[in-house]
Structure formats: structure tokens, C-alpha cells
């Protein structure tokens, strides 16, 4: 009986601590990359975002970070439309990690930043 109570208590605590929101700070602010595709000297990125009702969208940045061999990356500002975004980052040929940065402001004007998960090994091809 003691083991059953301990197990029940552990499961209850885990359920209470499980993430219920999109981000670590308890809001629903966040971005998800749906697709990151390497093109000729560019990377096309599409995805979705959510902004909590107490916040306003300030900006969305697409970022191509150099892969394991180093090199030059790229950043592109895009506009969100009804919870989705798309854009193209111009980069030299190479392999990149792609991330999205969601920038929001609260009712007091304080800016907050939310990063998407990273899409890895996205290859931009050499121009012809």
C-alpha cells in the first residue's frame, strides 16, 4: 500500500509540473519551423507562431547560423500573417542551422524574445 501511495504521489507531482504552455515563462508565445529548405544561395523558411493575448507581435527574424565548418550566416526580417510566416534568407553556399526569433512586447512595453527549435543540416547550394 505504501508503494502504491508513493507511486500515485509521484505521478501527481509529475502531472502538475508538466509543461502546459508553449514557452518556459508560462505564456503561449513561441514559433515553430514547419519547413526549412536549402535553395541556390538561400534557405526558404515557413512556420507558425503564437502570441499570447497580453502581448503584441514586434517582429520575426529568420536566422541561418553557420554549421560545424563555420562560415557566414544570414538574418532576414519577415512579417507574420495570421499566425504564420515565410521568408527567404540569402546565404553563401554551405550547411546551416536555422532558427526563428519571435519578438513580442507586453502591455508595459517590455520586449521579450522566444526562439524556435533549431532545424539542422540545411544546405544552400552553389549558384550556377
Q: Is the residue at 100 inside a domain?
A: yes
Would you place residue 23 in the very low, low, confident or very high pLDDT band (cuts 50, 70, 90)?
low
Cα separation, 122 vs 93, whole angstroms: 10
Question: Which CATH number covers residue 35?
Answer: 2.60.40.10
Q: Is the residue at 81 inside a domain?
A: yes
Q: Is the residue at 11 inside a domain?
A: no
What is the mean predicted confidence (pLDDT) over 59-71?
88
CA-nearest of 44, 38, 46 to 67 is: 38
Q: Domain residues for 31?
A: 24-124
Q: Is the residue at 79 inside a domain?
A: yes
Kindly report, residue by residue over 96-117, the tens digit of the pLDDT: 999 999 999 999 999 999 999 9
Domain tally for the chain?
A: 1
pTM recorded for the entire structure = 0.78
Q: Greater confidence, 15 or 42?
A: 42
Q: Is the residue at 50 inside a domain?
A: yes
Amino acid at each position: 500500500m505504501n508503494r502504491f501511495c508513493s507511486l500515485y504521489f509521484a505521478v501527481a507531482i509529475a502531472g502538475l509540473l508538466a509543461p502546459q504552455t508553449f514557452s518556459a515563462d508560462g505564456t503561449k508565445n513561441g514559433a515553430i519551423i514547419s519547413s526549412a529548405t536549402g535553395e541556390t544561395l538561400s534557405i526558404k523558411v515557413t512556420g507558425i507562431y503564437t502570441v499570447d493575448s497580453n502581448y503584441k507581435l514586434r517582429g520575426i527574424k529568420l536566422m541561418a547560423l553557420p554549421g560545424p565548418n563555420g562560415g557566414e550566416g544570414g538574418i532576414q526580417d519577415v512579417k507574420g500573417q495570421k499566425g504564420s510566416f515565410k521568408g527567404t534568407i540569402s546565404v553563401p553556399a554551405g550547411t546551416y542551422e536555422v532558427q526563428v526569433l519571435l519578438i513580442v512586447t507586453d502591455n508595459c512595453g517590455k520586449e521579450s524574445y522566444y526562439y524556435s527549435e533549431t532545424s539542422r543540416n540545411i544546405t544552400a547550394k552553389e549558384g550556377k
